Structure 1
C-alpha cells in the first residue's frame, strides 16, 4: 500500500542530489512463452467522467494504458524502454525519495532498462484472452513489466493501466507528466481509500468499454494515433481476467464482483476492506469479501507482509470457499510481485542497496525462484480459467 501521506506530493519540494553516474544497466528477465511480444500505448479520455483528484478536478478523466500482445513479426521494430526518459526522471527523484526509500538514491539510470517488447509490431491475428493489470498505490504500471511481458509471450493480450493522481508519475503523449496528488494518506483516511478504490473501479470499467471499441475495429486512442496492425483482431473479449498488486489487487477483486465482463481475477496482496484511521486495523469489508464471488479469485500473498487488516479481510474472503483460493510466496515480502523482485538483487550486487533494504522490499528469496514462482502461478491460474 501507499507508504507516505500526501507527503509524496510534498516530496516535490525536495532537491534531488543523486549522482549522475549510472550502474550497469538493470536487466529484466526475458519472457518464457513461445511468442515474441509487441507493445503499444493508448491514451484514453473519459469525457463523461470528471477527474476526482485536486490537481485535475473538473477535467475529464484520462488514463494511459500499455498493451502487450503476441506479435506476428518483430523484425525492424525497436525494443521499448521500461520507462520513458521523462517518466524515469520523475520516478528517480519522487518515487525513490518518498514511496520506496529502500531503493538506491543515486547510481541508477532508470531510463536505461529495456523491455523485451517491440514497439508497434504487428499483432498475431488470432483471438487471445485479455488480461487487465492495475498497479499498487503510488507505483506506475511500468514497474510490473516482467509479468505482463511473460503473460503476453504465453498468448495473452495484457492491458496495463495507471490511475493518474495516485500514481507517482504518468506521462501523456503530449509530454505532460502528472504526479501523485492524493489529499491525504489512504492508510489513515478511510474516506480517501474508498474514493481511491471507487476511482480505480470506474477506471477499470472505462478500460473495458474502450477495449470493446478496439475489438470492433475502431481506434479508442484520444488522438487517433496509429495502432499496430491486427491489434483489434487479437482481442477475445469473451475471456477476460484481471490481476493487480496491492491496491491494484483490491481493484481486481472488487471489479470482478461489480462487472460480469471479468471472468477471473488475481489479487496480489491487496486489502479487501476499507481500513480505519489506525493503520493496519480492520475496517468495513468490501462487498466482494462480505458477499463472496461466483467466479475464480486467487489471493496470492507473501509470508513477510501481514497485519490485522490483511489477515481479517482475506479470512473473510476465504470463508466463502467455492471459487476463492490462496497461495503464498515464502521468504518474500510485498514488492516481490513487481519488477523489483529482479531489480533489487542487481542493486545489491552493485553495492547500491543493502541486504536489509533488499529484504525489506522483496524479501531474501532469489529472483531465480521468485520470478518463475509468480509467473507460473499467475499464468497457470488464468490458463485454467480462461483457456
Structure 2
C-alpha cells in the first residue's frame, strides 16, 4: 500500500519519542501509576542523505492492527502486509535549524496516530513541525520501545470493545485524557526546545530538532474524538492559537439516551481563536449521532466572535480524513475490499480528489492563521 506523496518543497524527517507524565496515573489501567505516551514528530529535514525511509507502522503495531482495526473497519484479514507501507520521511534525519510553527494531531477514538501520516507529511513538507499523538488505552495499538515493571508487553492495545460515544463515562474519560495528554506534550516540547531530551528512554533526538520548534506558533488538528479534543484543548490552553476539528462532536454523550448532551465549554461559550469545523457529506453515525453533531456544531457557529468556519467534503464518509482515504480504494482495486465497504469507510469520492481537498482545507487554514513563512534562522 502507498501513501500520497507530499507536495511541499521540503524533504521530511521523522522521529518517535516516548514521554512519561509522572504527575498523572493512567486513566484506563489502574495498575499503571504514570501516564505513558508515544508521539511521532515530522519536520523539514536539512538533509536525508544516508538516512532510511521510515515505515508507517512498527512491526508490533502492525500485527495488532491486523487483529483490531481490520475487524472494526471491515478491512481484509489477509493479503496485506500492514508493516510494509513506507512513509516519505527519513528516520532521525537532521532538522533544519529554523524555528517553525508546531502543529499537534490527535487521531479518532480507538484509532492509532499512524493513520494520520499523510496529512502530517504534507504539512511538514510545507514547513511545519507536526507532532502526532497516540493515547494508550484508547488508541487501537501503541508500541513502546520496551516493557516496564507495570506494563509487561511492548504493544498496548485498546480497552474499547465498542463505540466509546455510546458510554457517557467512557467518552468523558477519553476526551479528558486526550486534553491532558495534549497539554503534557506541549510541556515536553518546551523541554526539547530548551535543548534537553524529553524521551523517557534517553534515546537521542535528531540533530537540531529542538531548534526547529517555535512554540509561540502552535496549532492543533484532529479527527473525530481527536477533533473534539483539539477544539476543547484550544479553549482551555492559551498556548494553542488555531484548531481544526475534523468531524468531532462538541457535546458530551447524554447521560440518558434520547436526551441532548451537555456542550463542551468551547461550544457553549465560543473561542477567540480560529477554529475550522471540517465535515463529510455522508457522516455515517446513527440519526441521533448526526443530530448531536449538527446541534453542537450549530451552537459553536452562533458565537459572534467570527473566528469559526465550517467546510464540507462532498461524496465522502467519516474516515476520509485519515489514510484510509487512499488505502480503501487501493484495497478495492486489488480485489481485497468490496465497493460497499470502501464506500462505508471513505465514500465514493476519488482518492486523488479527497486527498487534495482535505490537504487544501487543512494546509490553507494553517497557512492563514499559523503561517510557516516567518522564518528565523538560528
- TM-score band w.r.t. shorter chain: over 0.9
C-alpha spacing 1:216/1:81, structure 2 compared with 1 (3 Å)? same
Alpha carbons of 1:315 and 1:58: their partners in 2 closer, same or farther (altered >3 Å)?
same
| TM-score normalised over the length of structure 2 | 0.93
1:317 aligns with 2:322: no
**Secondary structure of 2:42 counterpart:** strand
* Count of paired positions: 359
Are the aligned partners of 2:12 and 2:45 in contact in 1 as well (CA < 8 Å)?
yes
Post-superposition, which runs of at least 4 consecutive aligned residues in structure 1 deviate over 6 A? 278-281
CA distance in 2, matches of 1:104, 1:278: 37
How far off its partner does 1:189 sit?
Answer: 1.6
C-alpha change, 1:281 and 1:128, in structure 2 (3 Å) is farther
The aligned counterpart of 2:264 is 286
Give the deviation of 1:184 after TM superposition.
7.1
> Is the counterpart of residue 167 in structure 1 residue 139 in structure 2?
yes
Separation in 2, partners of 1:295, 1:59: 35
1 CA distance for matches of 2:298 and 2:260? 12
Match of 1:336 in 2: 320
Conservation of the 8 A alpha-carbon contact between 1:244 and 1:267: yes
The CA distance in 1 between the partners of 2:105 and 2:191, in whole Å, is 19
Query: 1:95 Cα shift?
Result: 1.6
Structure 1 position 278, deviation (Å)? 6.8
**Match of residue 91 from structure 1:** 65
Tell me, in whole angstroms, the C-alpha distance in 1 between the residues paired with 2:201 and 2:354.
Answer: 39
2:109–2:164 Cα contact (<8 Å) kept: no
Whether the aligned pair in 1 keeps the contact of 2:19 and 2:37 (CA below 8 Å) is yes
Contact 1:298 1:324 in 2 (8 A): yes
What is the root-mean-square deviation in Å for CA atoms of aligned residues? 1.4
Correspondence for 2:332? 348
Aligned partners of 1:282 and 1:312 also within 8 Å? no
Q: Could you tell me how far 1:188 is from its partner in structure 2?
A: 2.0
Structure 2 unpaired stretches of 5+: 148-153, 372-378
* 2:87 aligned partner: 115
User: For 1:230-269, what aligned pairs fall within 5 Å after superposition?
Assistant: 230-269=208-247
**What residue in structure 2 maps to residue 200 of structure 1?**
178
Question: 1:19-66 CA distances to partner (integer Å, 9 max, x unpaired)?
Answer: xxxxxxx00011000000000000000011111113x54420000000
| Alignment TM-score, normalising by the size of structure 1 | 0.90
The CA distance in 1 between the partners of 2:331 and 2:162, in whole Å, is 31
How far did residue 191 of structure 1 move?
Answer: 1.5
Q: Aligned-pair distance for 1:144?
A: 0.8
Q: Distance in 2 between matches of 1:123 and 1:250?
A: 31
Q: CA deviation at 1:185?
A: 4.7
Cα 1:257–1:280, aligned 2, differ >3 Å: closer, same or farther?
Answer: farther
Q: Taking structure 1 as reference, are residues 183 and 377 closer, same or farther at Cα in structure 2, changes over 3 Å only?
A: closer
| 1:304-336 Cα distance to aligned partner (Å, 9 max, x none) | 006111111011001114100000000001000
After TM superposition, the structure 1 stretch with the greater mean CA deviation from structure 2, 275-284 or 223-232, is 275-284
Question: Who is 1:66 aligned against?
Answer: 40
Residues 325 and 46 of structure 1, relative CA distance in 2, 3 Å threshold: same
**Quick check: 2:60–2:155 contact (8 Å CA) kept in 1?**
yes
Partners in 2 of 1:138 and 1:345 — Cα distance? 22
Q: Secondary structure at the match of 1:222?
A: coil
Structure 1 residue aligned with 2:374: none
In the alignment, what sits opposite 1:20?
none
1:308 aligns with 2:282: no
CA–CA distance in structure 2, aligned partners of residues 262 and 61 of structure 1: 22
Alignment of 1:3-18 (within 5 A): none
Match of residue 100 from structure 1? 73
How far 1:104 sits from its partner (Å)?
1.3
